[in-house]
Structure 1
Amino acid sequence: MLKKEDTIIFGTRNEPLVTKIKALLKPKPMDEIRDPRERFDSVKEVHAACGIKISAPNLDLVVPGAPLRVVHGDEAELIEEIKSQSQVNIELDKDGLYIKADTIGSLEALVKESREKGINIRKVEIGNISRRDIMETAAINNPSERVIFAFNVKILPEAKEELIKSEVTIFNEDVIYTIIENYDLWLAKKKEELEKKRREDYTHPGMIKFLPEYVFRISHPAVFGVRVLGGRIKVDMRLVDQEGKSIGIIKGMQLDNKPITEALQGAEVAISVEGVTIGRQIKGGDIFFTDIPESDARKLTLMNVLNDDEKDVLNKIMDIKRKTNKFWGM
């Protein structure tokens, strides 16, 4: 039972707070509401189970979902009880994303679902998303962890301004499963983007065959058709033959008379190569490989970003290089 003037204790984000009930407001039956401003009756006491609105000092500090107790006995003992029940006891990771929710219960539910998906969590908190939350998350080194899961909370105006300037991604939904699903889709796309960016920093393995029926220019530069047998080729890559001899640099590439910068396995494209003459240094049917720097070969092997087809081409290139340097790429 709750009574007007009862002393109550409730949980906050910090220490439990003690206050006194100034008014108990009970919702009127729907058929008695004439004026929207008069939706409640002021009552002296209420019993379980009854939905009520409490008027008391400092209620703005209450944590949604935290317990509330009426003081009848040892106040200090109740404070300790409320304190332990108001704490969010969640094991955190050193790295991971940030979770915010509107209540303790929803926070725990979102954490549980995230854990089941193998998602690391570095911080959890109840409340709306602030500018500080955005700035703190933006400082994370790992781009895939600059993420906030937000359940049933608002993004404060100053946080929205900061969000525009940052690389933080917020998944703000009122359904937990939707948050997880959207995050999975985003993460897959993010990993693809990061892998592509990492690939661009290194010369990748590629193997091509000179198609003899497609000779467009003999030299200065030589222009001819090729089929990509494995891996990929890009403009500005240097080519070598099966003996490791330098052939020249791919200066341009076209597919269906349109310039392109990259061709993958299975593609048939026209390339222009500077520094070679068809009929002298090269001829139709020849096989060429991308000339990978030794340091790039080592890094690509360690990074484990190559698919099986690219690994096979890299091994062929290593075999060619080791004809003159048996420790090449090791």
Structure 2
Amino acid sequence: MFEKIPRLHFVGIFDLIGPRYYDNQSADFVAKLAEKNTGTYVHHKEIKAAQGIKITAQGLEHAIAGTDLYVVGPEDDLEDIKNAAQDMRSAMSDKSIEGVCLKASTLGSLEALLELLSIPVRDIRIGPVHKSDVMRASFMLERKKEYATILAFDVKVTPEARKLADEAGVKIFNADTIYDLSGQFKAYIDNLKEEKKKEAAEEAVFPCVLKIMPNCVFNKKDPIVLGVDVLEGIAKIGTPICIPSRNFIDIGRIASIEINHKQVDLAKKGQEVAIKIASTNAEEQQKMYGRHFEIDDELVSHITRKSIDILKENYREDLSIEWRLVMKLKTLFKIQ
């Protein structure tokens, strides 16, 4: 089996050149060598631990610091070694147009991060975090803020990089264990999702179909108060209500929901609740039960293209079978 030397990778013919090997008794030789300053090197067939060397080879401009150096032995298969090296390059080049930036001390760490995080990665590099890394990460600020992030595993962050990141709004997460790093990033993403949900709450319209219950019309005009059965979906406070069977007239938004005289924020399929529907404009204010709609008319949440997109982006995990109702209402409202 071929031998692997950590920290550098290329496949080619190379020389090992450096100062002559010396032991602790040869300090004078080092001084004399420095005095001569000839700049010459001596070729070696082998090296030992703690020797400083320079490697010359074809294609060194493609070498990646921190990856592995494979040595081809007389009985090794060169193609197998090339494939092993190519596998490492594949990991380094497996990048997306949109994603976070990864920095680590070794290629193995990068591969472990990629496997554990399961998120888009835009830039993959080995070594400390520098200002140039922050500049690359800042590209995502105008596209996806959550991806304007550098995940740094077992590497240092330069003070200049930290300062620029703070000024630009780029997040840098740094940890010595992969799980700590993953946990930091997950907590950050979860917080961002909650913030987005709050910002989008007023425009998020959950799908629902309501049936007016017999003898449960408590107020016929604005605010309309009815007892309803939730036939499908989720009825939430703030949901705009329309009557498809009456030429899609809008009658207002759900202002409150009660179950057994207790205020709740939402009602799900199968629940019987009392709802108050308040007008949001002069036209809705004129709508009245018995004149504009009757007990046989179903009340439906008025979804739009924009509200569907908001649900997809921010509330996908909150909906399961309700997505079928979204598609049904999309057809009903002829939304493209």
TM-score, normalising length: structure 2: 0.57
Q: Which residue of structure 2 lines up, in the alignment, with residue 291 of structure 1? A: 302
Aligned equivalents of 1:163 and 1:77: distance in 2?
35
How far residue 175 of structure 1 moved from its aligned partner, in angstroms, is 1.0
What's 2:114 paired with?
A: 115
Residues 243 and 250 in structure 2, CA contact (< 8 A), matched pair in contact too: yes
Establish whether residue 312 from structure 1 lines up as the match of residue 311 from structure 2. no
Q: Deviations over 1:257-287 (max 9, x none)?
A: 9998x63535746322333323444456753
- Structure-2 residue corresponding to 1:246: 249
Deviations 1:44-64 (A, max 9, x none): 469xxxxxxxxxx9xxxxxxx
Please state how far the C-alpha of 1:87 moved relative to its aligned partner. 6.5
Distance in 2 between residues matched to 1:251 and 1:188, nearest whole Å: 29
CA gap of 1:284–1:165, structure 2 versus 1, over 3 A, is farther
Identity %: 18
Q: Could you list the runs of 5+ residues in structure 2 that have no partner in the other structure?
A: 1-6, 9-16, 28-33, 35-39, 45-51, 68-88, 280-285
1:230 CA drift (Å): 0.9
Letter in 1 for 2:177: V
Give the structure with the larger helix fraction.
Answer: 2
Map of 1:139 onto structure 2: 139
Root-mean-square deviation over aligned CA pairs: 4.9
Distance 2:169 2:274 in 1: 38
CA distance in 1, matches of 2:253, 2:110: 52
Using the TM superposition, name which of 136-145 and 203-212 deviates more. 203-212
- Name the structure 2 match of 1:93: 95
- Give 3-state SS (helix, strand or coil) of 2:329's partner: helix
Change (3 A) 1:98 1:308: closer
Cα deviation for residue 139 of structure 1 reads: 1.8
- Residue 173 of structure 1, CA deviation: 0.9
| Contact map agreement 2:202 2:238 (CA 8 A) in 1 | no
Instruction: Give the Cα separation in 1 of the matches to 2:174 and 2:218.
Output: 56
Q: Structure 1 residue 128: deviation in Å?
A: 3.3
Match of 1:51 in 2: none
**What is the CA-CA distance between 1:172 and the residue it aligns to?**
1.2
Q: Which amino acid aligns with 1:317?
A: L
Q: 1:198 to 1:217 in 2, by over 3 A?
A: closer
Aligned pairs for 1:12-31 (under 5 A) are none
- Quote the offset at 1:80 in angstroms: 3.0
Check 1:270–1:202 CA distance in 2 against 1; reply closer, same or farther (3 A cut).
closer
Verify the 8 A CA contact 2:257 2:263 in the aligned structure 1: yes
Specify the code of the residue in structure 1 equivalent to 2:155.
V
Closer, same or farther: CA 161–202 of 1 in aligned 2, 3 Å: same
TM-score normalised according to structure 1 size: 0.57
How far apart are 1:199 and its partner, in Å?
7.9
Q: CA deviation at 1:142?
A: 2.8
- Describe the SS at the equivalent of 2:113: helix
| Alpha-carbon displacement from aligned partner over 1:210-244 (angstroms, at most 9, x marks no partner) | 35566553323223344543144452624114454
The verdict on how the C-alpha distance between 1:171 and 1:87 changes in structure 2, with shifts beyond 3 A counting, is closer
- Shift of residue 73 of structure 1? 1.2
How many angstroms apart in 2 are the aligned matches of 1:87 and 1:168? 25
Q: Does 1:263 align with 2:266?
A: yes
Q: Write the letter of the residue equivalent to 1:115.
A: L
Whole-angstrom distance in 2 between the partners of 1:109 and 1:251: 55
Letter in 1 for 2:277: S
Residue 172 (structure 2) pairs with residue 170 (structure 1):
yes
1:161-200 alignment runs, 5 A limit: 161-184=163-186, 186-187=188-189
Q: Is contact 2:217–2:226 with CA below 8 Å preserved after alignment?
A: yes
Counterpart in the other structure of 2:208: 206
Is 2:206–2:239's contact at 8 Å kept on the other side of the alignment? no
